[in-house]
Structure 1
Amino acid sequence: MTNIHEFITTTLNTALQPVHLQVVDESYQHNVPEGAQSHFNVTIVSSHFDGKRLIQRHRMVNELLAEALQGPVHALALHTFTLDEWEKRGGQVQPSPACLGGSKLD
């Protein structure tokens, strides 16, 4: 698996047919080697989440992305919404907090 961003995007598009999907590689904000593809922020709006609790939605996504989560992906921020929830939020999510550098090696 060489392009994690593409893997995440393709996998979620295929399985969940989202009306909105945003996959952001935030690895550059962390203390990782260049090109690490280790930290991602995913916002997904899908009818597949209708009637499901937040934990169920996250489990769905985690199961779909299990291969990446076992390897290169260290952190995955998930924002999972139904279309109604997304519209009520005005199509907005909070940005990720700044990395505090907790895993620096001396």
Structure 2
Amino acid sequence: MHSVPENSETHFKLVLVSGDFEGKRKVARHQAVYAEVSSLMNEGLHALALHLYTPAEWQEQRDKSLQSPNCMGASWEALHLEG
């Protein structure tokens, strides 16, 4: 939901449900996922919103909204027309 040139989106949301998250706190879950995508972060992935659940947690969560907020930043065109 960002105003950027075509094919340059760098913000993503990942919803991941895994039994591997059983018994792990949220921080450990995030660390595990970031370890897997570290090369993408080095290649320009700017922001990654993580929603990480065990299967049981997902059963409770799945009816709730995971909508992303609208971007409140300036448009790409406005940022590149200044100065």
TM-score, structure 1 normalization: 0.66
Match 1:51 to one of 11, 23, 28: 23
Identity across matched positions, percent: 38
Q: Is 1:45–1:80's contact at 8 Å kept on the other side of the alignment? A: yes
Q: Give the structure 1 partner of residue 6 of structure 2.
A: 34
Looking at structure 1, the residues matched to 47 and 74 of structure 2 have their Cα atoms a distance apart, in angstroms, of 13
Q: Give the structure 2 partner of residue 17 of structure 1.
A: none
Q: Is 2:2–2:9's contact at 8 Å kept on the other side of the alignment? A: no
Unaligned 5+ runs, structure 2: none
Aligned-pair CA distance for 1:101: 1.4
Compared with structure 1, are the counterparts of its residues 32 and 79 closer, same or farther at alpha carbon in structure 2 (3 Å cutoff)?
A: same
**Matched residue of 2:52: which SS?**
strand
Unaligned 5+ runs, structure 1: 1-28
The answer on 1:87 being equivalent to 2:51 is no
The answer on 1:64 being equivalent to 2:36 is yes
Looking at structure 1, the residues matched to 17 and 8 of structure 2 have their Cα atoms a distance apart, in angstroms, of 27
Q: Is 1:45–1:86's contact at 8 Å kept on the other side of the alignment? A: yes
Name the amino acid aligned to 1:101: G
- Specify the structure having the higher radius of gyration (Cα): 2
Q: Is 1:37–1:72's contact at 8 Å kept on the other side of the alignment? A: no
Q: CA offsets per residue over residues 27-52 of structure 1, 9 Å max, x none?
A: xx113221014111100000110000
CA RMSD of aligned residues (A): 1.7
Bigger relative contact order, structure 1 or 2, given CA contacts below 8 A and separation 6+? 2
Looking at structure 2, the residues matched to 65 and 89 of structure 1 have their Cα atoms a distance apart, in angstroms, of 24
Alignment length (residue pairs):
78
**Which 4+ runs in 1 deviate beyond 3 A?**
90-93
